[in-house]
Amino acid sequence: MLTHASAARAPRRAPPTLSLKPPEPWAPLLDSLGGVDDEHIIVLGKDGPDLMCALLRAGAPQVTHLCTHERLEADSASLVIVPRPGAPDWLTGALPSIRRALGPNGRLALCIDPLPSVQSRIRRLLTLHGFAGVRASRAGGRQMLCTEVPAFGLARCA
């Protein structure tokens, strides 16, 4: 007669590992910008703190966040990012300051409304302010325009 019964146990499985961190919302933008390791970056606008933290995590050594374009110093940045430029009229007023803040071969990245009319108007504004090589791409569901200040051309007067 059996005094006790042994039950077969199912082997324990480890629960699936879930990432506790949500995906980085600015990762597609950072991927499209390329390396940010040796650049002085200025982030303009209200979405700046989140993007600034993402840039620091990506290895950018110098990141500054400014809410407005009025305090930009001449030749103070190699990359300016405007995550939400707002109305094209705001951009019209901000582009001279942004252009002055970028040194030769400085880059500007704008996340804009994907409407073709808005994109063509902003491309025209960028060309009028001396930016060259305007490239459009999609990054994380956003339309992004990247452009740069040519290293050659007319001398600037400050």
Condensed to tens digits (0 to 9), the pLDDT of residues 73-132 reads: 888 899 999 988 777 788 888 999 999 999 888 999 998 888 888 888 999 999 999 899
Q: How confident is the model at residue 158 (pLDDT cuts 50, 70, 90)?
A: very low
Question: What are residue 39's phi and psi, to 5 degrees?
Answer: -115, 150
User: pLDDT digits over 15-68, tens only?
Assistant: 555 555 556 667 777 877 877 777 899 999 877 788 888 888 888 889 998 888
What pLDDT is attached to residue 5? Answer: 60
Question: What are residue 91's phi and psi, to 5 degrees?
Answer: -65, -35
User: pLDDT digits over 118-144, tens only?
Assistant: 888 999 999 999 899 888 888 767 788
Are 63 and 56 contacting, i.e. CB atoms less than 8 angstroms apart?
Answer: yes
The number of beta carbons lying within 10 Å of the beta carbon of residue 38 is 10
Give dist(CA 152, CA 1) in Å, integer.
98
What pLDDT is attached to residue 6? Answer: 59
Tokens representing 1 are 């007669």
Give dist(CA 44, CA 65) in Å, integer.
6
What pLDDT is attached to residue 151? Answer: 76
Q: Which domains does the chain have, with CATH numbers?
A: 33-143 (3.40.50.150)
What pTM, to 2 d.p., does this model score? Answer: 0.77
